[in-house]
Homo-oligomer: A and B are copies of this chain.
Amino acid sequence: MQKIEKLEEQIGYKFKNKELLIKALTHPSYSNEDSCERLEFLGDIILDAIVGIYLFKKYKDKNESFLTDLKSAYVNRNFLHKIGTSLNLKKYIRFKGSKILYFDRFVESLIGAIYIDGGWRKVEKFVKNFILKIPLEPLKDYKTILYRFSIQISNSPPVYQIVKEKGPQHNKTYEVKVKIKGKRYVGRGKGRTKREAEMNAAKDILQKFNIITSCK
């Protein structure tokens, strides 16, 4: 229990109900019934709402596509995994079997738990302090950009293909390639979800076509 208190200190929030915090840090491999999963569902939504409302109010002159892309940067799995790593969550996770490699879901379940235990204000404070204070660039939706480009130059949508898929259910990596009909370039991308791999493949081929620059 010592350990949990250290985490509370670090996140700046003391749980009234410690069970909730423990549940948020329990991987389904440890206990299916008392795992983080429901809190993760909730935290994902709460995070979206806090980030979205914050950006809407902060960027009064920006359009919804800018807001969408900037929100994506704050709620995407890689970024949240980094937050989980910086909070040292791995020291607190309860699990059985293969080691937990990614911590994004536990950042979400932690957010869900703080909301249930302390309400909106408290969880908003946590999100502002640990997530929104980090300056990020908008995360562009490369799949949509590629889709429009592909229709324009080939009159057909890009074709994605999963070329590799490895790892167990919870620690999967996908490798995807993408082509445009009649064109020679091939884009390749990896990711922990199909969507993420496709996004990276789309970005890769757009760079090859010089539609976007590779330094961004």
Contact = CB atoms under 8 A, between A and B. Distances in A.
Contacts of A68: 41
A100 interface: no
A145 interface: no
Contacts of A53: 42, 45-46
A118 interface: no
Contact of A38 (B37, B40, B64, B165): B64
A52 to B, nearest CB: 4
A63 B49 contact: no
Nearest to A68: B41
A67 interface: yes
- Complex copy number for this chain: 2
A37, A38, A45, A67 — which one has the most chain B CB atoms within 10 A of its CB? A45
A56 B41 CA distance: 8
A52 B45 contact: yes
Contact of A63 (B37, B165, B194): B37
Given A157-B162, A162-B157, A45 B49 contact: yes
| Interface secondary structure of A, over-half rule | helix
A48 interface: yes
Interface in A161-215: 162, 165, 194
A159 B41 CA distance: 29
Nearest to A56: B42
In the A-B complex, the 4 residue pairs with the smallest Cβ-Cβ separation, listed nearest first, are A45-B52, A49-B49, A41-B64, A37-B64
16 contacts: A37-B64, A38-B67, A41-B52, A41-B56, A41-B67, A41-B68, A42-B53, A42-B56, A45-B48, A45-B53, A46-B49, A46-B53, A48-B48, A48-B49, A156-B162, A157-B162
